[in-house]
Amino acid sequence: MSGVPCVLVVSNIDLRTNVPLMKPSKFLKSSVRDFILNINNDYRYMKTGYYVSLHAEILGNKVIPSTENIVDAYRLPILLVRASKAGVPTMPYLVTDSVKQIMAEFKFPVAVFAVNPFSFNSFKTAHNRSALYRAVKSLSMNYRYAVCAQPLYGEMDEYKVFFGKCDAANNGNVEEISRKVYETFNIPVCKLHIQHVDGEAYLCGFQALGLEEITTSDLHLISSEIMKVSEKGGFD
């Protein structure tokens, strides 16, 4: 016996790997006792990816990602605070449901992100007062939740990130941001919104990936990283 703990991959993504693999629907009915690597395109609260990690924790299993990290990563203000403490460059931001407060704090244009845990929306850009009202009303679910507003000084790009790795060649410090976000939250599959200003990159948002966004080359990268985790028997 090698003494390396067994790793079970639970995934809704069609992976090709030699590591033991189980679909979420089967895992959620099981009492499996292993290290669980939860690979899902969407870990939002009350989605299947979240429940896989929750079920693993209830069974007493070590799991990546943890439900704590899932909730924190998908709540943008918490994401930005924790990421900033880990050395990730972030933009100034304001959490509010008041359009007037946003206009008093930032000049146009501004990027408005949803804070509520159920939204799949990325963000909306507002270049004037009326657009800002529409963005806040939409992303706050008719003012039920606050939004997170940030100044838009440069270009906003999005990057698919798998185990902290992304295709961001010649894009400043994007790869470092991706790595640090992963080291902080351990979310294997996600999308990051990053603003480029004067050659520097700043973390602005975090989002689930659509299954249709995951390409064949992405699947190869995910499978390769799974093998590395399996060989280590999980993470420390």
Question: Please, are residues 9 and 17 in contact by the beta-carbon 8 Å criterion?
Answer: yes
Q: Three-state secondary structure along 49-110?
A: HHHHHHHHHHCCCCEECCHHHHHHHHCHHHHHHHHHHCCCCECCCEEECCHHHHHHHCCCCE
Question: Please, are residues 48 and 23 in contact by the beta-carbon 8 Å criterion?
Answer: no
pLDDT averaged per 10 residues in sequence order, the chain, 236 residues: 71 92 97 96 95 98 97 96 98 97 98 87 92 96 94 96 85 90 98 95 96 95 93 69
The phi, psi pair for 59, rounded to 5°, reads -75, -5
pLDDT at 235: 60
Among 218, 208, 113, 105, residue whose Cα is nearest residue 156 = 113
Strand partners, 202: 195
Question: Please, are residues 193 and 178 in contact by the beta-carbon 8 Å criterion?
Answer: no
Question: Please, are residues 123 and 156 in contact by the beta-carbon 8 Å criterion?
Answer: yes
Tokens, residue 56: 């693993």
Domain boundaries, the chain: 94-151
Give the CATH fold of the 94-151 domain.
Dna Ligase; domain 1 (3.30.1490)
Indicate the DSSP class of residue 168. -
pLDDT at 236: 54
CA distance linking residue 23 with residue 45, whole number of Å: 19
Which contacts of 133-139 are long-range, i.e. CB under 8 A and separated by 24 or more positions?
A: 133/99, 136/97, 136/99, 136/102, 136/112, 139/112, 139/113, 139/114
pLDDT at 2: 45
Tokens, residue 180: 């640090």
Tokens, residue 75: 């709540």
